Structure 1
């Protein structure tokens, strides 16, 4: 964990962050599967489409977080800091997508019971 005699990261923060994002991706996948199961009686084949979109989002999250972790590691090795590290577009995209799917699913379920 040294580069030219200097310690760039005394802990394992990038590794722990990468593992946390993988867990988040798995949680999104499980939520998509559970949502498909709950919405299937109401939406039918539409629930499968929503579930597949959720699984695609989970895959995007896992792949994107892996790429992000590699870029962060490269920044730390080359520069010793994350000043020019990866941005927060992945986080923003996942938050917006999950919120949108959740609100849409809630509207469908509430609308079906009215």
Structure 2
């Protein structure tokens, strides 16, 4: 339904989405710190590397989500649609990076376990 020529609801959906991305970034950061603490007995210094990679990913996620929120807002206010919006690169990047960090941690734990 349109309202005065607008084809989007001017509610708080973009803001809620931005907040959800921030929560996701914080969850990745907490997971990285928790993983670093849990993996330290098995990996030693390798756990710190995995944890720092996770924290770097969380930082990139929060910064990327802020940029994405600004682009969504501009696209909605200027073009009244998301056709010129940010796309799905951030989602794909987060999925690939989280999978890569998880696989790296799994390989490191299995290698440390096999060495015993």
Settle same-fold status: TM greater than 0.5.
yes
Partner of residue 35, structure 1: 35
1 CA distance for matches of 2:24 and 2:100? 17
Partner of residue 22, structure 2: 22
1:46, CA displacement in angstroms?
1.6
1 CA distance for matches of 2:56 and 2:49? 10
Q: What is the RMSD of the two structures over their aligned residues, measured on CA atoms?
A: 1.4
1:39, CA displacement in angstroms?
1.1
The question of whether the paired residues in 1 share the 8 Å contact of 2:53 and 2:101 is answered with: no
Partner of residue 74, structure 1: 74
Segment of structure 1 superposing worse, 25-34 or 82-91? 82-91
TM-score, scaled relative to structure 1: 0.88
Segment of structure 1 superposing worse, 7-16 or 62-71? 7-16
1:43, CA displacement in angstroms?
1.5
The question of whether the paired residues in 2 share the 8 Å contact of 1:75 and 1:82 is answered with: yes
Matched length: 110
List runs of 5+ in structure 1 lacking aligned partners.
Answer: none
Equivalent positions of 1:30-109 (< 5 A) are 30-109=30-109
